[in-house]
Structure 1
């Protein structure tokens, strides 16, 4: 490693042995820190200016978010007084990832539904008495199909249970004047309006991140305090601008891995993944985040990969460090500061990469495909093979092991493998282990995403980022149907249409894609794991 450098201020530090001094000097020379802190929309060029002008509220949103606190306390106390002690969050992407990190980190119970899997939804409906449940419906646009479908099924469940005040069991978070605001008012729900000048993936410290967490029992004022302390560093010169150093580091490599190393912060990598992938993955470029299970997990360190640890033990070259194998970067600080630091670092990296970090030009494509397929039906395809409980499509292989081996062989030296699982994130959790197994097979980055959740984050990178991805899509038979009230489709059909729409978007770009359909989820996942193990041994 090069000489160790630590930039620290505002309660957070970024430590590295990677030399990015030239990039830092360019940013400072162009007065980028001061201009970002002043919400200068011209930083990313004329084509990005119009979007940036309405998306930079996150720079100081923590000040406006304090206005939410009295009403949050009132609603929380009113719900508690009515015996409501279970919080369910229905939201996708930036509307759910931050509150999930907050509640997992602070050990507060929050049921997150960012899925269309009928089994996972059905389990959430049955998990606790409905009279003790409040559902937070979060959607910036107010028109997200997954969120609206979930709202409908919970309205029906409360109605069927004979609950008189159905609206009183809902809290809605949305932008001012969205269709959801009007609907929420009509149904008698509690309404919190988010900052309209903050995009979804930068919304951790707005109502989208704070309302579900506060209702679950988190003292969110502490998050705002930490962010406010850190905010004073955004306009500073090095070494008192940790986000500036982190942004230069992120822009220095095409891929970075992120793992926790004893920080006490749980799941931050998933939130960082959606922030960086969706913000930078466009125009055929971008920085690919790879969330790994531990600092020594397969794929955490490789040629061309920047290894990042959040918190915990630092390597020997770092102050106070003891880890025998040094990561490239360590980021240490409280959660509120982490949110703001990574957001600013993403904006700095966007400047260095020459991209607009606030738009998402390819996200709508899979949504449009889904809508068409819901209307016309999923195109019929014949499987290339049947291997026990696994059917394979889009391959010439005759069995599962051969199909996985062929797919792995298509990952080029600049490529990556993305595993996309349209399954139950709770009931089929063991599927996430496929990332680790396949990372032992593929000499390239391997990512894992739950569908349709990833469509609102890494899905942008898959389509608009570097055109080197190879894709493994996993779907499964849904079991018994679960209706979407008032819609001509059920959740199984919606999930199937989303997977088919994403396949279409990737195939239209000529991306290699293997689709595996499981007739039995448990057995199919075990067969997949065994095939990956066999390939790694050979």
Structure 2
């Protein structure tokens, strides 16, 4: 018996508040119009963008031909002893494949970083068995192009024909498609150009790397297909309409944060994928839904008063959650895509653009073009142990790191949030993620965590375009062994620092408080930061 996909609005007050919105969505035939790709659903300002972003509603059908193509290529690769798949991709090009493969327990090395140590570790794998999937919708994503260059050189240095190990996923006509053709790359998969990156889980961007790694992509499409008719129905029982109505009602009541916790769904890392979908789709024009991914239903921040506790559940939710969704992964992808697009209508925004993402990229490019400005950045306001402190400090500049953090946390706006942004190695420096829960538990401040630069392709849009009540704690670290970028006048370490400083500059220019802690020794510095966080109090 197929696993049912449901949305339960557990909180009776939220259910009552959502009822009018749900009735309106049904009477306006929003679900059927969305399935029919009606670009007028979000108003005239969004119509031109929406007209070229709605093919995701029928991917459970249109992506079927990929199944055989992926299976044939995987068999071909394995016959040659090529069974290690490395994915170079950012945002929508990496988050879905990572969730799919982690949930199915198959190995996929994901490179969505510019950290030299993490990239070097990926290079240190067995290149004789390695294939690189280069995945970029635009074909010009700087991180992905960097990974391609680094691996191409490593393959060549090992006496391997680099082109034979390159598989590309991109949009038709992109610069990457043209490069792949001219270089004779092994295979190019052209994705549907009328699907935005964060809605691309069931396109070639999600399915090719996951399928080559061994995931059952046919099952994902089957799961989505079983729910598709229900999502297209103009009915109050439509789970996507129910979820959208709940999120819209909660936002209008002041709960702008959506706190996501897994309660035994069997899906690994779903919150990280949903985080991009929600933040980048809704966080603009000074409004939006801020996703806060927490470690579980008992984690600090799950039941904050100004948040909607949302469980990705295995069965009926307990009384802690306000909303719960159940269902298999393929169905959950499609459910959340429908719901977030409809929530955009309720919030009065265009869920398919990302107007504030480019600002941080431009600032980083400016710094890369002027290396002197990058290396001659401001002097630290304080040096405390293995941590250099950058930012505007008061009396805390003469105190401990705990006092620095206490002063910064004390400046978070009422009803605001604190975002921890770690431009570090998310494998070797994984303990940095513990900071989120500790800050939330000790201060009561809603706290998010993101690895840089991957969050720039995700929550970065909300940080600059959403509600103007965020404060930002950056963690950067010294680079022990840098990695040169072939054909470029910079290293990975330089690029990583430029991305951090560029984003900090844009945030500061828009009035957002930023504190940067630079770890001169990563292990010792992280230990210092954790100890300082433990000194925080409400």
Which residue does 2:444 correspond to in 1? 443
- 1:407 Cα offset (Å): 1.1
- 1:89 Cα offset (Å): 0.4
**TM-score, reference length from structure 1:** 0.95
Aligned with 1:232: secondary structure?
helix
Instruction: Give the 5 Å matches for 1:44-83.
Output: 44-83=42-81
1:311 corresponds, among 307, 310, 313, to 313
* Distance in 1, Cα, partners of 2:414 & 2:307: 12
2:257 corresponds, among 255, 258, 275, to 255
Contact 2:306/2:415, CA 8 A, preserved across alignment: no
Unpaired runs of 5+ residues, structure 1, are 1-8, 316-322
Which residue does 1:509 correspond to in 2? 510
2:188 maps to 1:187 = no
- 1:234 Cα offset (Å): 1.9
Aligned with 1:535: secondary structure?
coil
Which residue does 1:134 correspond to in 2? 131
- 1:291 Cα offset (Å): 0.1
Most deviating of 63-72 and 191-200: 63-72
Unpaired runs of 5+ residues, structure 2, are none
- 1:308 Cα offset (Å): 0.7
Contact 2:134/2:148, CA 8 A, preserved across alignment: yes
2:469 maps to 1:468 = yes
Cα displacement string for residues 166-204 of structure 1 (whole angstroms, at most 9, x for unaligned residues): 211111000001010011122222110111000000000
* Distance in 2, Cα, partners of 1:274 & 1:135: 24
* Distance in 2, Cα, partners of 1:16 & 1:33: 19
Which residue does 1:144 correspond to in 2? 141
* Distance in 1, Cα, partners of 2:245 & 2:475: 36
- 1:312 Cα offset (Å): 2.7
2:264 maps to 1:268 = no
2:8 maps to 1:15 = yes
**How many residue pairs are counted as aligned between the two chains?**
519
Which residue does 1:496 correspond to in 2? 497
Which residue does 1:328 correspond to in 2? 322
Which residue does 2:335 correspond to in 1? 341
Most deviating of 405-414 and 394-403: 394-403
2:235 corresponds, among 212, 235, 238, to 238
* Distance in 1, Cα, partners of 2:417 & 2:117: 30
- 1:413 Cα offset (Å): 1.9
Contact 1:408/1:441, CA 8 A, preserved across alignment: no
- 1:313 Cα offset (Å): 5.2
- 1:326 Cα offset (Å): 2.4
Contact 2:479/2:493, CA 8 A, preserved across alignment: yes
Instruction: Give the 5 Å matches for 1:135-174.
Output: 135-163=132-160, 165-174=161-170
Most deviating of 139-148 and 437-446: 437-446
- 1:314 Cα offset (Å): 3.4
Contact 1:10/1:231, CA 8 A, preserved across alignment: no
* Distance in 2, Cα, partners of 1:313 & 1:234: 20
- 1:443 Cα offset (Å): 2.5
2:213 maps to 1:216 = yes
Aligned with 1:517: secondary structure?
strand
Instruction: Give the 5 Å matches for 1:95-134.
Output: 95-127=93-125, 129-134=126-131
Contact 2:30/2:234, CA 8 A, preserved across alignment: no
**TM-score, reference length from structure 2:** 0.95
Which residue does 1:352 correspond to in 2? 346
Cα displacement string for residues 208-254 of structure 1 (whole angstroms, at most 9, x for unaligned residues): 00000000001100000111111111221334310110111122231
Structure having the higher helix fraction is 2
